[in-house]
Each structure stands twice: as C-alpha cells, then as structure tokens.
Chain A
Amino acid sequence: MSTGEKFLQLLIVIGLFLAVMAVVLVLTSRVRSRVGEMLQTTAFLLPAVLLLALGLLYPAIRTVIESFRDRTSSEWVGLANYEAIFTDDALLQVLRNTAIWVLVTPVLATVIGLVYAVLVDRARFERFAKALMFMPMAISLVGASLIWRFVYSYRETDAAQIGVLNQLLKSLGFETYRFISTEPWNTLFLVVVMIWVQAGFAMTILSAAIKAVPDDIVEAARLDGVSGWRMFRYITVPSIRPSLIVVLTTITIATLKVFDIVRTMTGGNFGTSVLAYEFYAQGFRAFNNGLGAALAVLLFVLVIPIVIYNVRQMRKVEAR
C-alpha cells in the first residue's frame, strides 16, 4: 500500500465510524415511546458490549480451553502444558527470571521514586527535576531498550569504547564486560531498564501523596519532638501507605507483563526470557498454541490477586 492509500484508509475508517454513530444517534433520538427508550439504550450500549464480548470475553475463555489442548488445538492433553511449564528446564528458567523481575523492579523503582520525590520536594527546580525522571514513562519500551543497549555497548578492552558503562570500567582499570549476554547477571541489567522507566511513575504518585499529608498531623508530631528521619519513618511513610501499595502493585503488574524490553535487548536469548515474552515466542513464533495459552493463563492467574488488591487500595487513595 502506498502512503496515499493508507491515509485514504484512515479517512474511510474514521468517516465510516462517525457516520454510523451519527445515523444511530439521529434515528434513535426521534423515537419517544417505551420501545424507543429500549432502542436508544441498545444503540448506546451494543457496540461496546459486542466488542467486549467478541474481543475479550470469548477469546479469554477459548484460551483457557486451549491451554488443555495440544499445539494445534486439536487434541486434549489434560495438564501436560502446565506440567511442561513447571518441569522443562528452559521454562523453569523463564519462571525464575520472571520471579527476579517481579521481586526486584517494584521495590527498587518505588524506593528510588520515593527518595527522589522527598529530595526534590519544594526545591527550586522541582517541576524540572520531576520531569527529568518522569520522561522515560512517556517513551516506548522499545526506545528505552535502545537507549540502554547503547549504554551497555560492548567493545574489546583495548578498543575505543562507545558504551558509557564499559568506558567507566575501562577507566577504573577493569576489563570491559558483556552486560547483555553474560549469564546470569544479564537479567538484572535488563531489570535496570524497567526500574529506569517505572521510577518516574512511583515518584509522581508518591510526590502527590506526600504533599497531601495533613499539616496538623505533622505539627502534632513535631510538638511531640519528632523530626527528621523518624518523622519520615513514623509519620510520612504510614500516611502515604495506600499510595505506596498502589505504586508497588501497579509496577508489579506492569513487570509481570514485560515483553518489549526482553525482545528488544536480547530477543529472549542468553537465558533472559520471561513469562510474557515466552508466551509470544511459543504462541506466535513456535506456533505452539497449547503451551502459549497455558503461559497466558498462568500470567492471568498471577495478575488476578495483585489487581484485586491494587483496586481496593486505589479506592482508599481516592476516598481521601
């Protein structure tokens, strides 16, 4: 397709969509009876409900069913796909890597975000300083991965370095290091990218929470002689507890679904694959429907309790 044709498609789809919506609205606005009300309700709801049923509900149920079938979804295999996930060496490594991502990323991103939020709070350049850390949130994970692949660039120790980290090692008198391909530590260097992206999110949410701590609580504590680190530990942190939990759980969910970073940095090689990447590799590269579906279901099962907890805490944050 040429560029012109693509823009034509764009205009067609938007035009078509708006026209259909307009016709539906105009037609249903004419009717005034009880049946007319029903028609209106249907017109407002049906498109969204239909898309949800077709695009989310039905496929989700199908995925659960296919996770009990073989790679072409033709024969029942019982729990064989799940058994593979928990016994196959390569897949066990995927689970271990996922555990590392999920244990390290949320905690470090939250701690860094919290410390930075406190440090720059009411500083002269607060807005600017916050924007610096927040910016990685706006860019794609593919872009972030490219940025960090360049930081990790490897050359022989004797050669001129182009990666800033290996230059640092060389200047300090060490051998240069293959950050991305040396197992087992490479997973941690991939995790760094996610921390770099998510810390800005933690910082923004926690900064707002800190500013919302009521002054009378702080004042009362101060009159009791609390200050400094103890104020932070016993007044600030407990006061922003719901926000802290929302941030931690939100980053955990995002980390469980991490795919772009692994694909762009290593393509799942060098023992860095994680659950969401392995789902893609099995389902759409190896065309193993059964195993791909089982991995997706596992992801789903892991996400559910965290989301429920997250939503509950979010209500608490919003209620204040």
Chain B
Amino acid sequence: MSAASPVVPSDTTGLAPSAPPEPSAAAEAKRRLSSPWASLAAIVIAILWTVPTAGLLITSFRPVGDINSSGWWKFFLDPNVTLDNYRAVFTGDDVGLSTYLVNSIVITLPAVLIPIALATMAAYAFAWMKFPGRNALFVAVFALQIVPIQVTMIPLLSLYVDPPFGLPQLAGANAPGGGFYTIWLSHAMFALPLAIFLLHNFMREIPGELVESARVDGAGHVQIFTRIMLPLMVPAIAAFGIFQFLWVWNDLLVALVFGGGSLNISPMTVRLAELSGTRDQAWHLLSAGAFVSLIIPLIVFLALQRYFVRGLLAGSVKG
C-alpha cells in the first residue's frame, strides 16, 4: 500500500467505478484491512451467510432418494434435477401448500391496507388539525410503540372469543369471515402506533404554507388530505407498506394465537412450523415448502430494497 495522497486514494483497485475520489474513514480502515487476509475474511463471511440457504435451495430440486442418501453438496457430482418436491407440496395430500399460500395472501392484503389508511388519516389529524389535547394524545400513541404485542395477547383473545355488549364472536370457524377478522384486526392494531408516528413525522416535513394557502383558498381538510397530502406521502406510505407487508407475511405468533388453532385459516409460516415438528425428516417437503414461502418476500426485498431499508430502521422497535 503506497502512502496516501490527500486527493486520490492509493487503493484504486478495490474501488467501485462510481466511488468519489476523496478518502473516507471506511476507506482508511479498509486500507489497513485490504490485505489478502481481509478479502479472505469478507469471502468467508459471505459464504457462511449464503451456504445454508443455497443448501436448502439445491435440496428442494433434488429427488427424494438423493436427498436422503447423500448431502446436497453431492449434487454437483451427480446433478439430478426434479420439480417433484414442488409438485408434492402443492398437490400432495400431506402438505396442501396452495391452501396456505391463499391464506397468507388473504391475511396480508387487508392487514397492510387497513392500518395504512387509518394511520394516514390519524397522522394528518395530528399534524394539521387543531383540537384540544392534541399533543397529549400524540405522546400517548407514540408511547404505545413500546408495548410488546405479547403483553396484549391474552386479554385480546378473550375479547375476541367472548366480546362484551352482545357483539358477535370474532374467533372460531362460525365467526364472520371464517375467523380471519381476528388476524386482520390484530395486525392492524399492532401496526398503528408505528404507522401513525412514521407518517406524522413525514407529514410535518411538508411546508405549512402549502396547507395554509389551500385553507385560505377555501379548501377543507378532506380536500387538502386527498389532493395535496396523499400524493406527497407516496414514498413514506411505500416504506411503511413494505415493512408491514414483510412483517405480516413472515409472522408466526399472531397467526398462531389468533388463528384459533384451526389450520383452515393459517398462513404458510404456521403450516411450515407445524410440518417441521410432525415431519421433521421430510426434507423434500420442508425444503420446497420453505422456498415457496421465501420467494415472495425475497422478490419484494430485491425489487424495493431502498424503501425497505428505510422502513426497517424506523420500524426496528415494533413487535
């Protein structure tokens, strides 16, 4: 490594073409670490983080006999590829994954849309409407973020099973919506504090003159909300939407507790967890099943990575 010049970093070989020319703290730290050992360390970590997934992915395309008689790494010596495992999880009697795929979709869409809509409106009220006790109420909503969902679950379930004032029971197979309402409602409730907080912060950044001048021109809150705010909010709504989508899609606890123990409305995560317990050596089913459930969040993640990272940091406390 040559001595550093103030303008051009000496370690040009390791730089991305688009990297700015000035040295950074990281480049400096890397200068020290950019020995062959450092590259080796990076590659070892990358392999450690990839091999487990690759092993299961390869397994999902191998015939059952191969899976049970040899390790997945033998695939490269004797490549046999089959789609039988995927066929088995969808059409076979013992998994029936298509049912759970449908359940995951049916659970996720309303569980994402409803809290977003409610939170956008509430965030608008907190940001731009004047009413007594506004600040106190907002602080209360903010504080609710720290409540772990576990703390609410036992009483919430008894509320669904045995609602007061003669309201219809929400849990169980005879409930309206076949029992989906408990899962939809729970996800919506658990999402609200974070959603309101995030969207409110974003909405406060929109210049107040915009709202004021619209009001002077005679626009009401509803017009301002639908015509001015919503279009401006799209990035924030997208960031939260992706976060909430992945949260609901990957959730196990809420579906287990509020799914009423009936597999009929359970999402894929519950089915896979169940299979992992009852068919713990059926790797041809487990591997294919796992990848069906992983592929959708992975596509979302790869396509919308930037929004996702933003939402992730903001939502780090959720759950």
With A40-B222, A160-B71 as contacts: A228 and B28 at CB distance below 8 Å: yes
Q: In the complex, what distance in Å separates the CA atom of A110 from the CA atom of B169?
A: 46
B129 located at the interface, meaning its Cβ lies under 8 Å from any Cβ of chain A in the complex: yes
Q: Could you tell me the distance in whole angstroms from the C-beta of B260 to the nearest C-beta in chain A?
A: 11
Whether the Cβ atoms of B52 and A218 lie closer than 8 Å is: no
Chain A, residues 44-79, CB within 8 Å of chain B (1/0): the string is 110111011011111110110010000000000000
> Is chain A's interface secondary structure helix, strand, loop, or mixed overall?
helix
**Quick check: is B83 within 8 A (CB to CB) of the other chain?**
no
Interface-lining segment among A87-95, A96-104, A304-312: A304-312
Residues from chain A with Cβ under 8 Å of B221 in the complex: 29, 37, 40, 44
A129 partner residues in chain B, CB cutoff 8 A: 42, 46
- Smallest Cβ distance from A267 to chain B, in angstroms? 6
Closest B residue to A45 by beta carbon equals: B125
B residues near A307, Cβ cutoff 8 Å? 145-146, 317
A142–B252 contact, CB under 8 A? yes
Q: Report the interface size for chain A: residues with CB under 8 A from the other chain.
A: 131
CB-contact partner of A29 in B147, B220, B301, under 8 A: B220
Assess A204 versus B146: contact at CB under 8 Å? Given A135-B298, A140-B293, A229-B32.
no
Secondary structure dominating the interface of B? helix
- Chain A hits for B257, CB < 8 A: 280, 284
**B250: chain A residues within 8 A (beta carbon):** 139-143
Cβ-closest chain B residue relative to A161: B71
A299 x B276 contact (CB < 8 A): no
Contact with A along B290-319 (1 / 0, CB 8 A): 100110011011100100110011001101
A41 B125 Cβ-Cβ under 8 A: yes
A276→B219 CA distance, assembly (Å): 50
B102 proximity list for chain A (CB < 8 A):
3, 6-7
Given A9-B180, A140-B250, A147-B290: A211 and B298 interface contact (C-beta under 8 Å): no
Q: Which residues of B contact A227 (CB under 8 A)?
A: 4, 28, 31-32
Per-position 1/0 for B261-287, Cβ under 8 A of A: 000110001001100110010010011
Within 8 Å by CB of B33, from A10, A57, A118, A308, lies A118
- Give the docked Cα–Cα distance between A160 and B220 (Å): 73
| Contact between chains at B317 and A232 (CB < 8 Å) | no
Stretch at the interface among B84-92, B190-198, B206-214, B232-240: B190-198
A13 proximal to B (CB < 8 A): yes
**Count of chain B residues with a beta carbon within 8 Å of a chain A beta carbon:** 129
> Scoring A residues 25 to 47 as 1 if CB is less than 8 Å from chain B, else 0, what string do you get?
11011001000011011011101
* Known contacts A40-B221, A60-B147, A280-B253; A231 and B189 CB within 8 A of each other: no
**Are B223 and A138 closer than 8 Å at their CB atoms?**
no
**Given A119-B30, A122-B19, also A150-B46 (CB < 8 A):** no
- Tell me which residues across on chain A come within 8 A of B159, comparing CB atoms: 54, 58-59
B125 close to A232 (CB less than 8 A): no
Chain B positions within 8 Å of A293 at CB level: 154
Task: List residues of chain B with CB within 8 A of the CB of A38.
Answer: 131
Given A14-B113, A122-B14; A218-B23 close (CB under 8 Å): yes
* Distance of A239 Cα from B189 Cα, bound (Å): 38
Tell me which residues across on chain B come within 8 A of A122, comparing CB atoms.
14-16, 19, 24, 26-27, 30
- Across the interface, do B151 and A162 meet the contact criterion of CB distance under 8 Å? no
Asked whether, in the complex, the Cβ of A139 is within 8 Å of the Cβ of B297, the reply is: yes
Instruction: Say yes or no: is A303 at the interface (Cβ < 8 Å to chain B).
Output: yes
Q: Does A179 contact B (CB under 8 A)?
A: no
* Separation of A215 and B102 alpha carbons in the complex (Å): 51
Give me the interface of A with B, judged by CB distance under 8 Å: 1, 3, 5-7, 9-10, 12-14, 17-18, 21, 25-26, 28-29, 32, 37-38, 40-41, 43-45, 47-49, 51-52, 54-60, 62-63, 66, 112, 115-124, 126, 129, 131-143, 145-151, 153, 160-164, 167, 196, 199-201, 204-205, 210-211, 213, 215, 217-219, 222, 227-229, 231-232, 235-236, 239, 246, 250, 253-254, 257, 259-260, 263-264, 267, 276, 279-280, 283-284, 289, 292-293, 295-297, 299-300, 303-304, 307-308, 310-311
